[in-house]
Amino acid sequence: MSDIRTIRFTLNGTKVSKVVEAHETVVDVLTRKFDLSGTRESCRQGLCGCCTIYVDSNPVSSCLMLAWFLDGTDVRTIEGLADGDTLDPVQEAFIEAGAFQCGFCTSGFIMMVKHLLSENPDPSDEEIRHRLAGNLCRCSAYPEIMDAVKIAAAKARSVAKARP
């Protein structure tokens, strides 16, 4: 027998509610019930990082969370990063560095990089590698991803400097 409940949470700044079943995972609900396909389902074991989202500002693997856990939380997905047509500096940096081939892992990487830079605006190579250890790129665009992190960090620092 399945349990059904209505969950209410904030999704990319908008208050939403949805009827979900107990066994549904967050990534399934985001992709199927909210049509947000940027969060990718891949390994379903918390190994690959493709489904990384923020729940209450913390990055988590959305394949390892039941949708019911979202009740009352603040959720941000890759779709919530851009401001209208203006991409987030991290998104721009990934394009500038060409930090992908197939792009399947990219949204997870961008979410993780953005979170890293919010805590540490000037990370060392080692700090970048440690933080991105939970994200896999099967095309192996790692050197370009490292470049993208540095471009994004430089962008963020110059924006911070320009502020009065």
| Positions that interact with another protein (CB under 8 A) | 1-3, 21-25, 28, 44-47, 49, 52, 58-61, 63-66, 68-69, 112, 115, 129-131, 133-135
Q: Provide, rounded to whole angstroms, the least separation between the CB of residue 162 and another protein.
A: 30
By C-beta, is 14 or 58 nearer to another protein? 58
Query: CB of residue 66 vs another protein: minimum separation in angstroms?
Result: 7
Closer to another protein at the Cβ: 71 or 158? 71
Kind and range of the H or E run holding 151: helix 142-162
For another protein, give the closer residue by CB, 64 or 146. Answer: 64
Buried b (16+ CB within 10 A) or exposed e, 106-144: bbbbbbbbbbbbeeeeebeeeebeebbeebbbeeebeeb
CB of 158 to another protein, least distance (A): 26
Specify the residue for token string 């969370």: 65
Strands 4-11 and 74-76: parallel
In three-state secondary structure terms, 164 is coil
8 or 98: CB nearest another protein: 8
Cα–Cα distance between 44 and 38 in angstroms, integer? 16
Whole-number Å distance between alpha carbons of 150 and 147:
5
Pick 26 or 156: Cβ nearer another protein: 26
Shortest gap between Cβ of 115 and another protein (angstroms)? 8
Minimum distance from residue 38 beta carbon to another protein (Å): 16
